[in-house]
Amino acid sequence: MSDSLLDLEAVSAGYAGRPVLREISLSVQSGLVVVILGPNGHGKTTLLRCISGLVKSTDGVIRFDGKTLNRNSPEQIVNLGIAHVPQGDLLFPEMSVRDNLLMGAYLCANAEDRQDRLEEIYVLLPKLKERWEQMANSLSGGERRMLAIGRGLMTQGRLMLLDEPSLGLAPVMIDQIYSVINNLKAQGKTIVLVEEHPKRAFEVADFVYLLEDGRIIWQGKPEEMTGRKEMLGAYLGG
């Protein structure tokens, strides 16, 4: 496990005494796309929030790039190189597309560097460039998702956490989002992807974890999973 970028060892977490994650252990190797699947409400989002520091773990160790993360605040964790694109986008509604993107580069102190990063994102996501002046809350669902991902990319974090990128989108938009994700994968980005319905996620996955009731009940390569019909039934329904 020495070249894994992210390591979780027996991590537990919960809200107000109610346990959500129970002794999760997983690792993410650099340059891979790791997909976390599982039914809704079983802890996938909490897992990502734990990694990015929005939720404090009650037990276990989280290691990123060799450093232990447990007590750090989200601000510090972003600084270390983890970008979290949260469920529901959490955009800044009354700020323009450009300002939302620039916020992604908040930790970059140099205005020119920020501008450079912005140009890169505009190349990757040309629709955002078109709408650069528009208020975030006037964008369509698919555009918002693009903006959220673009904003996350602006942080230039080494690890990207994507929480349900296909949530609430029409199939056409999902195609576009996943083509972007494929693009990122081709660039060698390390991604932890959470999805409820796995069909598209399988196409990009290098490794899969199955999360049920707060526990990892299965892990392996996506090919291995398609070989097991029982699990297939429950999870390929969407």
Partner 1 sequence: MDTVVQIVVSGLTVGAMYALATISLSLVWGSLNMLNMAQGTLLTIGGFASYAVSANLGLPIFFGLPFAMIVGCLIGYLMYFGFVQFMINQPSFDTSVIIATIGFAIILENVILKIWGAYPLRQPLGITGGFFLGGVHIPYQNVLIVAVSVVGMLLVAGFVSRTRLGRAIRATSQNQEAARLMGVPVRFIFAQVLALAGFLAAVSGLLLSTITTLSPTMGYDPMIKAFIICAIAGLGNIAGALYAAFILGVLEASIQYLFGVRFALPTMLLLVIAGLIWRPAGVFGRRTVTRL
> Which member of 13, 35, 47, 102 binds partner 1 (CB under 8 A)?
102
Q: Does 73 bind partner 1 (CB under 8 A)?
A: yes
Q: Which one, of 7, 53, 61, 60, lies nearest residue 30 by Cα?
A: 7
Look at the block and give the residue holding tokens 């276990």: 60
**DSSP strand E in 30-184: where?**
33-37, 59-64, 67-68, 82-85, 159-163
Q: Which of 59, 65, 99, 203 binds partner 1 (CB under 8 A)?
A: 99
- For tokens 């949530």, what's the residue? 167
- Helix-strand-coil percent breakdown of the chain, rounded to 5? 40, 30, 35
> Which residue, 111 or 170, has its beta carbon nearer to partner 1?
111
Site size with partner 1, rule: CB under 8 A: 26
In a 13 Å sphere around the CA of 44, the CA atoms on its Cβ side amount to 26
Bridge partners (DSSP) of residue 82 are 159
Which residues have CB under 8 Å from 175's CB, separation 6+? none
Q: Which is nearer to partner 1, 47 or 225 (CB)?
A: 47
Select 189 or 200, whichever has its Cβ closest to partner 1: 189
Pattern of binders to partner 1 over 141-180, x per CB under 8 A? ----------x---x-------------------------
Residue 198 touches partner 1, criterion: CB under 8 A: no
Q: Which is nearer to partner 1, 136 or 173 (CB)?
A: 136
Side-chain-facing half-sphere of 94: CA atoms under 13 Å: 0
Smallest distance, partner 1 to C-beta of residue 148, A: 9
128/210 with CB nearer partner 1: 128
Distance in Å, CB of 147 to partner 1, minimum: 11
Q: Would you count residue 86 as binding partner 1 (CB under 8 A)?
A: yes
Is residue 199 near partner 1 by the rule CB under 8 A?
A: no
**Residue 75 binds partner 1 (CB under 8 A):** yes
From the list 208, 206, 194, the residue with the least C-alpha distance to 50 is 194
Touching partner 1, residues 51-70 (CB under 8 A): 52, 54
Establish if 92 lies at the interface with partner 1 (CB under 8 A).
yes
CB atoms within 10 A of CB 114: 18
- Give which of 30, 16, 76, 17 is closest to 51, Cα–Cα: 76
List interacting residues with partner 1 (CB under 8 A).
52, 54, 73-75, 78-79, 83-84, 86, 90-95, 99, 102-104, 106-107, 109, 111, 151, 155
